[in-house]
Amino acid sequence: MSGQTIGNAVAVRDNGPGALVAAHRADIELVMPSHMQKRVGAWIRTTQGLLRRDEKLLKAAQNDVGQFMSVLLDAARLGLEPGTEQYYLVRRYNRKKGYDEVTGVRGYQGEIELMYRAGAVSSVIVEVVRQRDGFKYRPGRDERPEHDIDWDLSLEARGDLRIAYAYAVMKDGATSKVVVLNRGHIAKARAKSDGADQSWSPWNTDEEAMWLKTAAHRLAKWVPTSAEYIREQLRAKADVDAERQPAPLPTGPLPQPFDSSEPHDEDDAIDAEFVDDETGEARS
């Protein structure tokens, strides 16, 4: 079977949205970060495979194909893999429309990926603390949290989730702001999430991942993300390069050499002006 025949068979089996994803390959590739563009084919096949495996998700995508494509383009723009812990594809009931549609939820791995991609951090730590874990962090006194785990205990034996925390170690060795969230903080975040009470919500299918995601999302406010950081770096480099450029040579006529043989009055004063060439400014 030829590659074209296989492609057609996949399109028919996807019954609409899968074929639409392939048809919009150029649009998806256009918004993707450059490092992802070589993998656009695999990215599309992963999305099509997800639709084939989940009939309810496929039906939601068919209900509103425009909404589905908007979600995929958002994932592509961020350079994240849809249907993974980087970027969840979730069915959501739209009360105004009266049917399920597909929405996107950025996962904790997606939040971390964007921090690393910025190039400012050397490591990102996002963890959950369970009831029988030891945890200590005193803001203003401790640089980083102390989290003790008895690895001999099973996950169940460690107890229920009680805290999520996140921080980043910058490339200069400094520690970012430390984010610590208790169960109350997580409950407020969950209450703001559409469909969190539904059985298909990642809040119910993967609760720990959503605790991690909430902490990582809060940390993202204090750590550079890819777009803003790269723009700042480019601007700073442009400023440095401009300062290093040699001063332009004069374009007018060159001054005449001084003729020492020309008589002059030694008592005549020479008007002069001192110019301070220092133009650098202190930067914070």
Q: 252 or 260: which carries more pLDDT confidence?
A: 252
Tell me if 217 sits within 8 A of 110, measured CB to CB: no
What is the pLDDT of the chain when averaged over all its residues? 81
Q: 274 or 196: which carries more pLDDT confidence?
A: 196
Amino acid making up residue 267:
D
Q: Around 263, how many Cα atoms within 13 Å sit in the side-chain half-sphere?
A: 0
pLDDT digits (tens, 9 = 90+) for 96-106: 999 999 999 88
Where along the chain do its domains lie? 7-106, 109-227
pLDDT reported for residue 47: 92
Lowest mean pLDDT among 64-73, 76-85, 222-231: 222-231
Using alpha carbons, list the distances in angstroms from residue 52 to 19, 173, 224, 233, 278. 12, 46, 37, 42, 66
Q: 249 or 173: which carries more pLDDT confidence?
A: 173
Asked if the model's pLDDT at residue 162 lies above 80, the reply is yes
Helix, strand, coil proportions of the chain in percent (round to 5)? Answer: 45, 15, 40
pLDDT reported for residue 275: 40
Distance CA 212, CA 216 (A): 6
Average pLDDT, integer, range 153-181: 96
pLDDT reported for residue 249: 55
Lowest mean pLDDT among 84-98, 185-199, 235-249, 270-284: 270-284
Q: How far apart are the first and last CA of the chain?
A: 64
* 218 CA to centre of own chain: 12
What confidence tier does 248 reach under pLDDT thresholds 50, 70, 90? low
Asked if the model's pLDDT at residue 10 lies above 50, the reply is no
Distance CA 202, CA 209 (A): 8
Asked if the model's pLDDT at residue 14 lies above 50, the reply is no
- pTM exceeds 0.85 for this model: no
Amino acid making up residue 255:
P
Average pLDDT, integer, range 132-138: 97
Average pLDDT, integer, range 83-111: 91
